[in-house]
Chain A
Amino acid sequence: MIELVEVHAGYDGEEVLHGISCVFDSKHLLLGPNGSGKTTLIKVITGLVPIDSGRVVIDGKDLRSIYGEPGLVATNVEDVYAMLGVSVRDLARLFMDLTGGDLDQALAMFEEFGLKPRDINRRKLWELSAGQRKIVTSVLALCSCAKHVVLDEPFEQLDPARKALLLKKITEYRGTIIISTHETWLIPALRTWSAYLMFEGRVYGRIDVEKLQRSKLVPNRVEEALLTFTISGREFSIVETGEGKALTDLITLDRVYELAMEVSS
């Protein structure tokens, strides 16, 4: 279980996460538009961004005291894999060795995703296309056999066939998974999961994805709302019944601001 308690974090004295509290203990979507702080939240969980205050607890241990624990958390954040200028194969060898992951499975998955052996053997991570890099880092995270896998925008830059394949691999994974995304096509695809919404550095939820799929976005605070959140200083509610717009009508949550304006007018 990953628990965040009143977490404040940011860069250059500018706070990005404003007192986030949430619990990740099964399969979760972290839904939010670009710039909402999803990547920062994932970097906080993976220890890449230190927190200013609050606590991150992973399986009962404070993140600040966790060192040298392979198999606890895996991620696809590229910063992690940019450490050495070696070929993708060597990178896979290294990370599977360091995390106790399955190298054969990783190499087989690269092939399944259509990465050419020549690219794997010769090219470095940053010499691949953005989509290929996403595949490599997500595969390495999934093959590390970690208890908790944290994937930042894993479907970004992927073609539809690869999106479908990656989705299959993710749903087959046994363990806690957190996927951050701004793509709403995942809502009907992952109905059994639960979700947190993220806007302007604040997390709202949690809510079952199935309920989220059926619900509507309406302006103002509503008594019977499943969730109430704030965008640009205005309150909005997610309700199961009523006249509003469905989040699934959007292709990307980046359009949520347009939708909010539309709904409130």
Chain B
Amino acid sequence: MTLFLKLKVKSLVTNKHLLFWSVFFVEFWLIMWFFVFSREGGEVPIEYVETNTATAFAFLGLIAAASVAISLTYSSAFQIAGARYVTKFTKLSPRRYAIEDFAANLVVFLIILAIFYISTMVITWIKYRVWVVPKYPLMLFGALVMGGILAHLLSYDLGLLVFAIRKPKSLTFIAMLPLMIAFVAYAALWTDFGVVATYVNPFHAYASIVCYTFLGKVPPIGRYFEYFFGGAEIELVDLRLALFSLMLWYIALLLGNVLLLRRVKVVSIHEIAHM
């Protein structure tokens, strides 16, 4: 691990905002999920416990992922100016910079999701005395990596967008977009936004894939609680389409990255540092 990668990971995992929103805030709702909104312990079918845990991990994990994306957006915005110098006059060539920066963001994303995974398992055990094991652990890991790639690309586009529209003070709003989009996907627990919304919202597609790899059952396109616990008949997610949607999002975000990089004229860090 190079020093840039190591220090970037360190700077993010010691970032108080990132820790608060992606760990403490989400942990609070995890506790609420299990101890306020879930069935009481005792004679609860194992199927309920597994489904409940998978849904909590997929959807609260989505909020954790979006919270990480917020911090990554701030981080990318603060790096854009310096990156021009660093890639020219230090050992970090543009390729090396791009790879190490991506790797650092991905590592941080996976650390946060690993913390959330462990706490979901522990809380499930405390509540139901059951250790729930993901049905497809390797695929689940792959799905989380896909989430990390999404968070990285999205945060870069948003960070660049702030400079492209030449409104550095809009960073506070623009950085929150991942969380807003994630909350729309989160609403699918109760609401059915229809087939198109399922695949258009990358966070919805991501949550569906995580839920499937954890539970081993194809989830519905919406109204998860009604489908899983109320027996409602709802159309199921086409997982191949969800995967395809994510891939298209990657391509679109990468293209956005290239286009925005061409437009961007860096604003002094002072203009965004004191917002």
Measured CB to CB, the residues of A under 8 A from B are 11-12, 46-50, 63, 66-75, 77-86, 90, 93-95, 97-100, 126, 146
Contacts and interface: CB of A to CB of B under 8 A. Distances in A.
A93 B10 CA distance: 13
Contacts of B166: 12
B270 interface: yes
A50 B265 contact: yes
A98 B86 contact: yes
Interface string B231-275: 000000000000000000000000000000000011111100100
B119 interface: no
B38 interface: no
A54 B219 CA distance: 58
B206 to A, nearest CB: 27
User: DSSP majority for the A interface?
Assistant: loop
B89 interface: yes
A90 B10 contact: yes
A81 B82 contact: yes
Closest 3 interchain pairs by CB?
A68-B93, A98-B90, A79-B81
Contacts, number: 105
A12 B275 CA distance: 20
A48 B87 contact: no
A48 B81 contact: yes
A75 B85 contact: yes
Contacts of B96: 68
Identify which of A50, A83, A86 gathers the most chain B CB atoms within 10 Å of its CB.
A83
Contacts of B79: 83-84
Contacts of B3: 93-94, 97-98
Nearest to B15: A85
Nearest to A63: B88
A82 B85 contact: no
Nearest to A84: B11
A42 B266 CA distance: 14
Identify which of B15, B86, B90, B266 gathers the most chain A CB atoms within 10 Å of its CB.
B90
22 contacts: A12-B166, A46-B89, A48-B84, A49-B265, A49-B266, A68-B91, A68-B94, A68-B96, A69-B88, A70-B89, A70-B90, A73-B88, A74-B89, A75-B85, A80-B82, A82-B269, A83-B79, A84-B11, A98-B3, A98-B4, A98-B90, A99-B89
A67 B88 CA distance: 4
B33 interface: no
B92 interface: yes
Contacts of A72: 88-89
Nearest to B82: A83
Contact of A68 (B87, B269, B273): B87
A67 B94 contact: yes
B10 A86 contact: yes
Contacts of B82: 79-83
A57 to B, nearest CB: 14
Interface in B89-127: 89-94, 96
